[in-house]
Structure formats: structure tokens, C-alpha cells
């Protein structure tokens, strides 16, 4: 079970998440997000991360040139596209790609077959935001999806519900942001610790059953 803590804006939050067992940290380069981080600050944080922690760059409908510049500056090799990016746009990038899909219902999952990406991140649909809403969707809709796709589950996850989500969906990974904050863009370290511990424990229980 891989755990990604997204919306990192401070070094102390990044280091805490890494210490508690996060596998990846997400940096939001979408200016309309309250968790937006300047590329220079993200680069500084990433330079101070311990080894084996994967930084992930999140973009929403960003111009190709801008994406390339930020990835180079921050030295990031995993990209999460969270907008309406078409297939031909994704093919422009040699990095490992995570494509976010905002789930309304089962019909939302049909486009998955058309993408050639490293993983899919399934998040809650909102007409007002591309992510970070803190709202969950109906996980029953995707409980069969994880067995045929590399799925990262997001949307409304926290320490109280993550064990149930892991056992139901059995995703490749989980992703949380707003549910682990004390205020916008600022992580609550206890919430982060409890979330990662609950997720890993649920994954271990699954492993022991098979």
C-alpha cells in the first residue's frame, strides 16, 4: 500500500509525512488552488527530503512549456494531471504519469481503457473544483476497478475512514490532502500520522488474509 500526502506547502510538513511513512508527497502547481506552491519553494523542499520519498507534481490544464520548466526546476519525475488533459497532451511527457479522474458514477470510469499511464487517481467530482474538496464519492462504484487498474484512491479520506476504503477498494495507493489539514495548506501532523498508520495497518490485514 502506497501513501501519498498531497498539498505540501512547508518543509516541516513534508518531513513529518516522510517520518510517519508516506511514500510520496504531492506539490500543487495550480494557481487557483489554496495549496498552490511556488516552484522554487517546492524545489527547496524536495532537496531536503530523505531518500526513497517520491515527489509528485500536480497540474491542471497547464501549458506544456510551463510543465516542462517546473519539472526541470523542481527535479520531479512523476506528474499528476488533474484537469481535462487529452490523450495526445499526456503523450508529450516522458515522465511517469498519474491521470486523475473525477468520479460521478460508473460511466466516469469508461475512459480508463483509453489511457496509457502509470496509474489512475480517482477523486470526487465537483463542478466547482478540480480536487481538494474533502468530499468522498461512492467507493462501491469502483471496488472492482482496482483489480484491473493501478488505482490511487482520493477524495474525502481521513484516519477515520481510510481502513474501510482500503479494504473495500484494495487500491494500489491512497491520497489525502484537505482531510489532514489544520488550516488551508497546513498539515496537522497528528492527523497525518494517524492516517498513514491506519492505512498501512489495513493493508497489512489484507496481506495476511491472502
Q: Which residues contact 86 (CB under 8 A, 6 or more apart)?
A: none
Catalytic annotation, pick one of 6, 84, 188, 207: 6
Catalytic annotation, pick one of 13, 123, 128, 175: 123
**Is residue 35 within 8 Å of 13, Cβ to Cβ?**
no
Active site residue 6: yes
Active site residue 105: no
Q: Which residues contact 146 (CB under 8 A, 6 or more apart)?
A: 153, 169, 170, 171, 172
* Alpha-carbon dihedral sign for residues 81, 33, 44, 190: negative
Neighbours of 184 (CB within 10 A): 12
**Is residue 135 within 8 Å of 141, Cβ to Cβ?**
no
Q: Which residues are catalytic?
A: 6, 123
Amino acid at each position: 500500500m502506497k501513501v501519498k500526502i498531497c498539498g505540501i506547502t512547508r518543509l516541516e510538513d513534508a518531513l513529518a509525512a516522510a517520518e510517519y511513512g508516506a511514500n510520496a508527497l504531492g506539490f500543487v502547481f495550480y494557481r487557483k488552488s489554496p495549496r498552490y506552491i511556488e516552484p522554487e519553494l517546492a524545489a527547496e523542499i524536495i532537496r531536503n527530503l530523505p531518500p526513497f520519498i517520491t515527489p509528485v507534481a500536480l497540474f491542471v490544464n497547464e501549458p506544456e512549456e510551463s510543465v516542462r520548466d517546473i519539472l526541470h526546476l523542481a527535479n520531479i519525475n512523476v506528474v499528476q494531471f488533474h484537469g481535462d488533459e487529452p490523450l495526445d497532451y499526456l503523450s508529450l511527457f516522458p515522465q511517469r504519469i498519474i491521470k486523475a479522474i473525477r468520479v460521478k458514477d460508473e460511466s466516469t470510469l469508461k475512459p480508463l481503457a483509453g489511457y496509457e499511464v502509470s496509474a489512475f487517481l480517482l477523486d470526487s467530482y465537483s463542478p466547482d473544483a478540480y480536487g481538494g474538496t474533502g468530499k468522498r464519492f461512492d467507493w462501491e462504484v469502483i471496488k472492482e476497478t482496482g483489480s484491473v487498474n493501478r488505482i490511487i484512491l482520493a477524495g474525502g479520506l481521513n484516519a477515520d475512514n481510510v481502513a474501510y476504503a482500503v479494504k473495500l477498494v484494495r487500491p494500489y495507493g491512497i491520497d489525502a490532502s484537505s482531510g489532514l489539514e489544520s488550516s488551508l495548506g497546513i498539515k496537522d501532523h497528528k492527523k497525518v500520522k494517524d492516517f498513514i498508520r491506519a492505512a498501512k495497518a489495513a493493508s497489512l490485514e489484507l496481506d495476511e488474509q491472502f
